[in-house]
Structure 1
């Protein structure tokens, strides 16, 4: 299972707000069932098979273009751990257990 962090940013829009573009991306995420996801204040965390993540990232990259953007930057960080099963919740639980 791969965990990835994605940020899709339209450039050159007439507003500094990105929430409409983020909402558009999350509407697309809601329509698919291959990748789990979690909205965060600075991006979206994805969890699933690497091929499925790449497929959905390509579609998410197109969302701002489909909504009028002329330029888009997409940043993707991938955590592909193969020595043991990884999950979003397990990573958070690991840190929180050390805070007690």
Structure 2
């Protein structure tokens, strides 16, 4: 299992507020039943790495459907093959070390 952090920034929307575009992309996660965490700067989601890459492409394309002229997407993926990696386990481990 892998954990992916994705941040989508629509550009060329004519408005400095992009929440309409970002929330439209976010709805994919809800529609498709992903286990995810919304953050102030993006979304963290877990799943199979190939599935996450396909999901990232869907999320990246979504603001264009709402009229964005440019979209900048940042993706970070953490994949471990020696343990079952989850968002909750990563946070729990961090808290244990605080």
TM-score (norm 2): 0.93
Q: Which runs of 5+ in 2 are unaligned?
A: none
- What RMSD over aligned residues (CA atoms) do the two structures have, in Å? 1.1
Q: Which runs of 5+ in 1 are unaligned?
A: none
Provide Cα deviations, 1:21-58, integer angstroms capped at 9, x if missing partner. 1210121111113x421110011101000111111111
Matched length: 98
Q: Determine whether 1:96 maps to 2:95.
A: yes
Separation (CA, whole Å) in 2 of partners of 1:64 and 1:56: 14
Separation (CA, whole Å) in 1 of partners of 2:61 and 2:86: 27
TM superposition outliers: structure 1 runs of 4+ over 2 Å? none
Instruction: Report the equivalent of 1:17.
Output: 17
